A = this chain, B = another copy of it.
Amino acid sequence: MKEKITKLINERKYVEVRKEVTKLNVVDIAELLEELDKSSYLILFRILPKDMAAEVFSYLSYEQQRYIIDSITDKEIKNIVDELFFDDMIDIIEEMPANVVKKILKNTKEEERLLINQFLNYPENSAGSLMTIEYVDLKKEMTVKEAIDHIKETGVDKETIYTCYVTDKNRKLEGLVSLRKLVISDDDKTVDEIMERDIIYVNTHDDQEEIAYLFKKYDLMAIPVVDKEGRLTGIITIDDIVDVIEQENTEDFQKMAAMSPSEQEYLETSTLSLAKHRITWLLILMISATFTGSIIRKFEEVLQSVVILAAYIPMLMDTGGNAGAQASTLIIRGMALGEIEIKDILKVIWKELRVSTIVGVILSLVNFMRIYFIDKVSLKVAITVCSTLFFTVVLAKIVGAILPIGARKLKLDPAIMASPLITTIVDAVALILYFSMASWILGL
């Protein structure tokens, strides 16, 4: 496709280019644009029909959007801005540098500019920052026929027409009615008769994670957003929620690998910014790990008399860390999905106690055979290593299960109680166990 379009553009066959390109999905056009070189780029973008251009624009990367706004005329900017959905426009404005924002705002209407300012003030990741203002607004006195006619007239510019919102004269949200219900109802029924009154809604300052949870729980397609006075200020649609879900998951992945979360794509993040997101936790964990070191120093004499003990430190530490990571991951994920709650803590501990006993026994037996028969260590050393292994696994699983629940109880994010932190804690305890066992069993 890319070669074909480039060729047509070079031959200045613009009518044909337009015919070819408008057959494509807007997402694919955006992808095609990103592959073209800069000279063909603007030509192709300008060839697009007005409404399509705005849609394609909203799928481009911020860098590309900036390049386009920098290169096109005010009139062209106005065309795009008029066609863009409000929530997409807010997203773009939030990411652009000041001079580009100025250029965009110059081309919006006075009232729209006020609204933009209001929207920019909503906290990041709040309902306000996610919502759009293009929804269908009905009155309860309308008949079904009047309502459908109203949708016909105004529906083209709405983000969704499948859920319509019923408000009173003070914009207070009174009910909602799906287009489905409208279409299958008799023409002369009133909206009042068929609307739902038990509405699930959110407030402008609610956090996106809770909103995503409501969408998942109630299988919603859209949710209304109201202000403190109960007035409808916007709606959030499911396509934005899908992005929120992936973003929240990415954050959890990052936190669980001891990084401060970032919304930027990896390849687009600067080296310095990547380093900054990683260094804090690495430092904290490194310094904690030196305490593990001081445990070894304290038992230096034990180690000096039976140096072979050192050979099993990595295995004990790694296995403990892995066992703890498994438990903490399941608990963190279970809590994120709302499947595990604080009140389940005893059930969880009891479960991990049983699981870790099974797992611990198998690991210890296999390990015993490995080191007694292959490494040919003495029986006492083998017993020391294997009993430490067993207790480390049990302990790691319990700690890995309790800490995330404890974090939630303390209103911290459970995701930070993941593998790296658990490993550091388990390491220290495992070593104390190890050397105490050794002193006792080997009689040192």
Interface residues of A, Cβ cutoff 8 Å to B: 23-25, 27, 148, 151-152, 155-156, 161-162, 179-180, 183-184, 198, 200, 215-219, 221, 238-239, 241-243, 245-246, 249-250, 252-254, 256-259, 265-267, 271-272, 274-275, 278-279, 281-283, 285-287, 289-290, 292-294, 296-297, 300, 303-304, 307-308, 310-315, 317-319, 321-323, 325-326, 328-334, 337, 339-340, 344, 347-348, 351, 354-355, 358-359, 362-363, 366-367, 370-371, 375, 393, 419-420, 423-424, 427, 431
Pair B310/A303 contact, Cβ less than 8 Å: yes
CB pair B148–A266 under 8 Å, yes or no, is no
Q: If A317-B314, A329-B259 touch, does A279 touch B359 (CB 8 Å cutoff)?
A: yes
B319 touches A296 (CB 8 A): no
Find the B residue at minimum CB distance from A243. Answer: B216
Question: Which B residues lie within 8 Å of A148 (CB)?
Answer: 183
* Cα separation A293 to B424 with both chains bound (whole Å): 19
B279 touches A25 (CB 8 A): no
Known: A184-B152, A266-B330, A282-B322. A314 touches B216 (CB 8 A): no
Chain B residues near A219: list those with CB within 8 A. Answer: 27, 239
- The minimal Cβ–Cβ distance linking A329 to chain B, given in whole angstroms, is 4
Partner of A431, one of B314, B371, B424: B314
Contacts of A359 in B (CB 8 A): 275, 278-279, 282
How long is the Cα–Cα vector from A218 to B25 in the complex, in angstroms? 8
Residues in B neighbouring A304, C-beta threshold 8 A: 304, 307
Contact A319 B286, beta carbon cutoff 8 Å = yes
* 12 A-B pairs in the complex with CB atoms less than 8 angstroms apart: A27-B218, A152-B184, A241-B242, A253-B333, A257-B325, A257-B330, A290-B370, A290-B371, A290-B375, A296-B311, A314-B431, A321-B420
CA distance A132 to B311 in the complex (A): 58
B-chain residues with CB within 8 Å of residue A156 when the two chains form the complex:
184
B310 and A267 form a contact (CB under 8 A): no
Would B258 and A339 count as touching, CB distance under 8 A? no
Which chain B residues lie closer than 8 Å to A431 at the CB level? 314
Closest to A385 in B: B293
- The smallest C-beta distance from A202 to any residue of chain B, in angstroms, reads 15
Given contacts A253-B333, A254-B330, contact A322 B281 (CB under 8 A): yes
- A contact patch SS: helix
Nearest-neighbor residue (CB-CB) of A154 within chain B: B184
A310 to B257, CA, bound (A): 26
Residues of B close to A283: CB separation below 8 A: 362-363, 366
Complex Cα–Cα for A93 and B370 (A): 46
Compute how far the CA of A265 lies from the CA of B282 in the bound complex, rounded to whole angstroms: 32
Nearest chain-B residue to A351 (Cβ)?
A: B271
4 smallest CB-CB distances across A and B, nearest first, come from: A257-B329, A289-B315, A292-B314, A293-B311
Contact B325 A296 (CB under 8 A): no
Q: Give the complex CA separation of A439 and B92 in angstroms.
A: 57
Taking CB atoms, residues of chain B closer than 8 Å to A183 are 148, 151-152, 155, 161, 179, 183
- CB of B286 within 8 A of CB of A363, answer yes
Q: How far is the CA of A441 from the CA of B419 in the complex (A)?
A: 34
Question: Chain B residues near A180 (CB, 8 Å)?
Answer: 155, 161-162, 179
Q: Which of B258, B318, B340 contacts A423 (CB 8 A)?
A: B318
How far apart sit A293 and B367, CA to CA, in the bound complex (Å)? 12
CA distance A218 to B256 in the complex (A): 30
Distance A200 CA – B26 CA, assembled complex (angstroms): 12
Contacts of A296 in B (CB 8 A): 310-311, 313-314
Q: Could you tell me the distance in whole angstroms from the C-beta of A328 to the nearest C-beta in chain B?
A: 8
Q: CB distance B339 to A266 under 8 Å?
A: yes
CB-CB under 8 A from A293, the residues of chain B are: 311-315, 375
Q: Measured between alpha carbons, how far is A47 from B266 in the docked complex, in Å?
A: 54
Q: How far is the CB of A33 from chain B (nearest CB, A)?
A: 15
Nearest residue (CB) in B for A367 is B286
